Structure 1
Amino acid sequence: MTLFSLTDPGNLIEPIAVVAFDGWVDAGSAATAAAARLAEGSDVIATFQGDLLFDYRARRPTLEIVDGRPSLLSWPELTMRRARIAERDLLIVAGPEPDYRWRELATDMVDLAGRLGVVEWISL
């Protein structure tokens, strides 16, 4: 069993993986801000199982309230998005730093990168 589900990414051109976790490793939110900018207009191609990766006591979902009414419940999520930039594909993995199952996640991410033909890996 893997920690992710993958949709059809289409034809990828020399994909580069860009990985950014928020939390302790993301001083000043520089990594996640850069990843968010790169991911603008991109499509989600993989989602990771948050229920297995995150401690919801430490990372609670947020509730957006509009005009005094609950509007949107957002859970912490780790995703891979595909963006085409300068004739190449970026595969941007971004979200909260996992609390659990690091070894399994690392193995799955390496396997996923191989499956998608990733030629470069950049950790922000």
Structure 2
Amino acid sequence: MAQLEGYYFSAALSCTFLVSCLLFSAFSRALREPYMDEIFHLPQAQRYCEGHFSLSQWDPMITTLPGLYLVSVGVVKPAIWIFGWSEHVVCSIGMLRFVNLLFSVGNFYLLYLLFRKVQPRNKEYF
């Protein structure tokens, strides 16, 4: 049964990733310019991507911590070295939005672990 659970989880994670990719693609095609609060967050993330981490570069309209920007730089910046992409491509709206897609898959896994912790399996039913 434990092996089946692994297959089910892999299938659910794959389906979640596929649906997320399809939604990401649809939104990216429809929304080429920043929308909602991306007007503030995108320029800030791009400054971090360019290596400008000083407080003088911080937008005072942003009230969140810079953790997502730092993680985004840590995820997309290595693509310059690995794939040979330009900094313009790596720090684009699409790539920075893609980081959120990766976070959604990570959240799915964390929810699965949390569910397993809260609802331990009962061996007598299997």
What range describes the TM-score normalised by the shorter chain of this pair?
under 0.3
Q: Which structure dedicates a bigger proportion of its chain to strand?
A: 1
Provide TM-score, normalisation by structure 1. Answer: 0.26
Larger radius of gyration: 2
Structure (1/2) with the larger helix percentage: 2
**What TM-score, normalized by structure 2, do the two folds share?**
0.26
